[in-house]
Amino acid sequence: MELWQLTAAEASRRMEAGQLTSETYTRALLERIRERDPLIRAWSWMDAEYALRQARERDREPRRGPLHGIPFGAKDVLNTRDMPTQHNSPIYYGHRPNEDANCVAVLRAAGMVVMGKTETLEFASGGRKPLSRNPHNPEHTPGGSSSGSGAAVGDAMVPIALGTQTGGSTIRPAAFCGTYGMKPTFGRISFEGAKHYSVQLDTIGLFGRSAQDLWLTAQAFRLTGAEAPPTGSAAGLRIGLCETPMWKDATPDGREALHRAGKMLAEAGAKVSTLVLPEPFDRLTEQQDVIMHEGGRGAFLPEYFGAGHLLHQEFRDKVENKRGFTSEQMRYVIDQVALRRMEFEKLIGDLDAFMTLSTPGEAPHGIKSTGDAAFNRMFTAMHVPCITVPGLTGRNGLPVGIQFIQRRYEDEKLLRVAAAVATVLDPATAGSR
Amino acid sequence: MELWQLTAAEASRRMEAGQLTSETYTRALLERIRERDPLIRAWSWMDAEYALRQARERDREPRRGPLHGIPFGAKDVLNTRDMPTQHNSPIYYGHRPNEDANCVAVLRAAGMVVMGKTETLEFASGGRKPLSRNPHNPEHTPGGSSSGSGAAVGDAMVPIALGTQTGGSTIRPAAFCGTYGMKPTFGRISFEGAKHYSVQLDTIGLFGRSAQDLWLTAQAFRLTGAEAPPTGSAAGLRIGLCETPMWKDATPDGREALHRAGKMLAEAGAKVSTLVLPEPFDRLTEQQDVIMHEGGRGAFLPEYFGAGHLLHQEFRDKVENKRGFTSEQMRYVIDQVALRRMEFEKLIGDLDAFMTLSTPGEAPHGIKSTGDAAFNRMFTAMHVPCITVPGLTGRNGLPVGIQFIQRRYEDEKLLRVAAAVATVLDPATAGSR
């Protein structure tokens, strides 16, 4: 096994045991990047020498914790005090904020090496497309808007990355790129220093090469307790499988994959039941869309006033409220979503997880679109924590992710479920951790 | 009338008519500051020459709009690209972010002069107290946490200021300092580039010397349409007066002031009815408190890890969840608040405004405490827009503000109500506008 193939958890164990230095590991990842990134284009900014300098500094220090010396990538809508933050917007070419986003500062404080910035859809919202390609087949999209973070972790250029999710921007690219992704409970990781879009939805997302990688990253943010997650067993897990109102958008191999995953888990001893979401949930995706777009009225005002000619028309339309959202409509959709939150969690009850697809199916062909976020938007709106677990593939051999969901603030419980189901759905990774 | 006594609206009219330059006006305000600030301590950072340089630049340009050339103060938790942003925290002494907060950028784009940074409670949340004093009696607090913004506008050192409100940090200081303050609907002004505390509550607040000043500022943020607000008349307004569950916390002169205001409006032809909030509203303040404090677990993680020894114990306690908030409790309080939002707005119905006290009464003696936010916290939690209107005083001759509230996203309607009731409660200012 090559060093770049290690999960963060395994690299951490080797460093802890004195068998691996941050410099050696970082160098191996940089080699991987040098080889692969001309094709995959996961990175919008990278300085190999600077990454190595950080790694050497970490090697000289006492270890601060399990992530000490592990490199990560940061989506280019997250401010970094030592690298450009360009939002894939010509307004921000060469822009260098001198403060870290809260989430970047936390991982830096944990001793991690900031490897570089990853490609994003313009302002993680619309407009200019990222250049990234799917590492499993470069003719396909890696998903978005955290396209570079998904592609970089999916291609093992870096074991951990940060993204954001306002619609489906973390779970979708993680699933398309065949890796692990987590959208924590809304608000549990501060959004300070990230480009805002909708304050009711904006969430920091995590990418890792295994459920343990997600656990370690979540731990740095204090979403979990101090110990490593049990690898667990799927036996005895009570899981509610749900096709959701988006089933009509799922592809045949997406549909097949969800039911196959349900069978695999049942065969491993999980109690898989079937859930149906009542009719009002049919409108959640549309309601999320209203809340998200309306957020753009205020979020992009400075760019609109200060450099409107460089701002993509999509953002000008948001600021000018071209869709004509009304006060009454905003109150209605926000309150409807709040009611669905309560009903959804009552439905989950004491199940170990709600289970559905992460995306409609495999990553679509081409990179003009980052694919459909249908299976993400309602869960983002409901503020619940979501994790996508890889392992299954569709007819093109591309990954199909299975999404597990818990009630708000049950991030730790969900991380344990992810570790357990990964032993069934993704045994190769779960075995090596 | 001295130039420093002008409202922003009146200064704007004179500039528009070519009777006043930004430089002359800014100079008059700087004189006022030089004279008064050694006592009032509204400002944490100020460079008179730099303010004048901005004013001269604005004078050389075509007017961008009604706020062109008008100075404003920015609370020192709002990033400014050309001034320090210190959060009243030793961790941030001399700290100079190189980006403007979204709200600062918008007012700068409107042609305003950034006069300086105003005093704040540490991170607008707790810990170190601001040095500001009440301009009506320096032995009393100006309120907080936007203490400097309230004191600066209340003392006519600047006609407009920005603050924040997570509990009562805008309405309270505006009321204590005898000026106009507005907490817009949650999320309508982007919080990007402000120090975050609780993502479910953090709101940018506006201070002005008149209802028209608030209107002009709100207009820059596109919360209102293009025209100036009608000065309106209180006649015919349907207002619901409510003592609220916090009535037990109100002082005798606070109580008297609210009912006096109700009588004055009724005598002016308003239809003032009495509203009672049902029993579940009794727990809203406590629920707001849980949501707010829990936000500190993630908000202050970077400071906790990076410079914990310089972080006030209050913040360390938040990060460490000393109050032991549970997942179940968080879901419960968030959902309860969501239900109250719906009930509250049904209660307001098509009233022109809900009316209550802005604070329990006059500003308390001393500056060790910034006073009680009892009359603000439940409304912040409900995300509704609130405006405090001055004009009345208590037994010590200190201001007592009256708070007007509308349904979410009805900011424009509320601004019209404020302009109308100001003609009754604060005729001196409303007359001069």
**Which tens digit of pLDDT belongs to each residue from A278-310?**
999 999 999 999 999 999 999 999 999 988 789
Mean pLDDT of A120-143: 97
Q: Please state, as a whole number, how many other Cβ atoms lie within 10 Å of the Cβ of residue B150.
A: 40
Mutate: best of B102, B224, B406, partner A, most A CBs <10 A = B102
A12 is catalytic: no
Ramachandran region, residue B206 (left: φ > 0; alpha: ψ -120 to 50; beta: rest): beta
Percent of chain B exceeding pLDDT 90 equals 95
Query: Closest residue of B to A294, CA-based?
Result: B188
B309 Cβ neighbours under 8 A, 6+ residues apart: none
**What crossing angle do the helices spanning A211-220 and A411-425 adopt, rounded to 10°?**
160
CA dihedral sign of residues B69, B72, B78, B84: positive
Percent of residues in chain A assigned helix, strand, coil, to nearest 5: 45, 15, 40
Query: Residue B379 to residues A295, B201, B384: CA-CA distances in angstroms?
Result: 21, 10, 6
Q: Please state, as a whole number, how many other Cβ atoms lie within 10 Å of the Cβ of residue A276.
A: 12
Catalytic residue among A12, A22, A44, A75: A75
Distance, in Å, from the CA atom of A359 to the CA atom of A171, rounded to the nearest integer, reads 8
Query: Closest residue of B to A106, CA-based?
Result: B302
* Burial class of residue B91 (count of CB atoms within 10 Å of its CB; 0-12, 13-18, 19+): buried
Chain A residues with CB-CB distance to B334 below 8 A: 408
Active site residue ranges of B: 75, 145, 169
Continuous segment of H or E residues that includes residue A376: helix A374-381
Catalytic residue among A22, A89, A145, A358: A145
Mutate: best of B125, B202, B334, partner A, most A CBs <10 A = B334
Which of the four pLDDT bands, split at 50, 70 and 90, describes residue B100? very high
Residue B145: cis peptide before it, omega within 30 degrees of 0: yes
Percent of residues in chain B assigned helix, strand, coil, to nearest 5: 45, 15, 40
**Nearest alpha carbon to residue A406 among A247, A176, A223:** A223
Token pair for residue B217? 């500022």
Evaluate whether ipTM surpasses 0.90.
Answer: yes
Q: What is the pLDDT of residues A82-94, one digit of tens each?
A: 999 999 999 999 9
Residue B228 has pLDDT above 80, yes or no: no
Looking at residue A230, its pLDDT comes to 76
Query: Residue A152 to residues A42, A142, A158, B119: CA-CA distances in angstroms?
Result: 5, 10, 6, 44
Please give the backbone phi and psi of residue A366, each rounded to the nearest 5 degrees, phi first.
90, 165
Residue B321 lies in a domain: no
Distance, in Å, from the CA atom of A166 to the CA atom of B333, rounded to the nearest integer, reads 23
* Burial class of residue B336 (count of CB atoms within 10 Å of its CB; 0-12, 13-18, 19+): middle
Going through B209-328 in order, the beta strands assigned E by DSSP cover 238-242, 271-275
- Alpha carbon of A376: minimum distance to chain B alpha carbons (Å): 21
- DSSP lists the bridge partners of residue A45 as A117
Query: Closest residue of B to A325, CA-based?
Result: B409
Residue in the structure block whose two tokens are 């708000």:
A408
**Nearest alpha carbon to residue A32 among A115, A131, A139:** A115
Looking at residue A231, its pLDDT comes to 75
What's the Rg (C-alpha) of chain A? 20
Mean pLDDT of B415-427: 97
- DSSP lists the bridge partners of residue B140 as B365, B366
How much is the mean pLDDT over chain A?
Answer: 96
Residue A431 has pLDDT above 80, yes or no: no
Cβ contact A98–B102 (<8 Å): no
- Alpha carbon of B92: minimum distance to chain A alpha carbons (Å): 11
Cβ proximity of A162 and A72 under 8 Å: yes
Cβ contact B187–A200 (<8 Å): yes
- Alpha carbon of B25: minimum distance to chain A alpha carbons (Å): 25
- Alpha carbon of A429: minimum distance to chain B alpha carbons (Å): 30
Which of the four pLDDT bands, split at 50, 70 and 90, describes residue A429? confident
Residue B168 lies in a domain: yes
Cβ contact B192–A106 (<8 Å): no
Residue B56 lies in a domain: yes
> For chain A, what is the domain count?
1
Which of the four pLDDT bands, split at 50, 70 and 90, describes residue B429? confident
Cβ contact B319–A222 (<8 Å): yes
Q: Which of B222, B301, B338 sits opposite A221 (nearest CB)?
A: B301
Distance, in Å, from the CA atom of B28 to the CA atom of B156, rounded to the nearest integer, reads 10
Catalytic residue among A22, A169, A198, A210: A169
Residue B214 lies in a domain: yes
Out of A202-211, A349-358, A401-410, B305-314, least confident range: B305-314
- Alpha carbon of B35: minimum distance to chain A alpha carbons (Å): 34
Residue B109 lies in a domain: yes
Distance, in Å, from the CA atom of B80 to the CA atom of B85, rounded to the nearest integer, reads 7
Pairing of strands B113-118, B71-75: parallel
Query: Residue A135 to residues A33, A74, A399: CA-CA distances in angstroms?
Result: 12, 18, 11
Q: Please state, as a whole number, how many other Cβ atoms lie within 10 Å of the Cβ of residue B251.
A: 18
Q: What is the pLDDT of residues B233-250, one digit of tens each?
A: 999 999 999 999 999 999
* Domain containing residue A106: CATH number: 3.90.1300.10
Residue A21 has pLDDT above 80, yes or no: yes
Percent of chain A exceeding pLDDT 70 equals 99
A233 is catalytic: no
Looking at residue A153, its pLDDT comes to 98
Chain A residues with CB-CB distance to B200 below 8 A: 187
Q: Which of B200, B306, B342 sits opposite A335 (nearest CB)?
A: B342
Looking at residue B431, its pLDDT comes to 66
Residue A254 lies in a domain: no
B310 Cβ neighbours under 8 A, 6+ residues apart: B89, B90, B91, B303
Cβ contact B335–A327 (<8 Å): no
Cβ contact B301–A222 (<8 Å): yes
Cβ contact B301–A187 (<8 Å): no
Q: Which of B96, B187, B338 sits opposite A199 (nearest CB)?
A: B187
Q: What is the pLDDT of residues A358-389, one digit of tens each?
A: 999 999 999 999 999 999 999 999 999 999 99
**Nearest alpha carbon to residue A205 among A173, A244, A246:** A173
Residue B225 lies in a domain: yes
Chain B residues with CB-CB distance to A186 below 8 A: 199
Mutate: best of B85, B406, B409, partner A, most A CBs <10 A = B409
B330 Cβ neighbours under 8 A, 6+ residues apart: A408, A409, B290, B291, B294
Cβ contact B408–A327 (<8 Å): yes
Q: What is the pLDDT of residues B338-380, one digit of tens each?
A: 999 999 999 999 999 999 999 999 999 999 999 999 999 999 9
SS3 (DSSP) at A386: strand
Residue A104 lies in a domain: yes
Q: For residue B56, what are the domain limits?
A: 3-231+411-432
Looking at residue B432, its pLDDT comes to 58
Residue B149 has pLDDT above 90, yes or no: yes
Token pair for residue A202? 């904006």
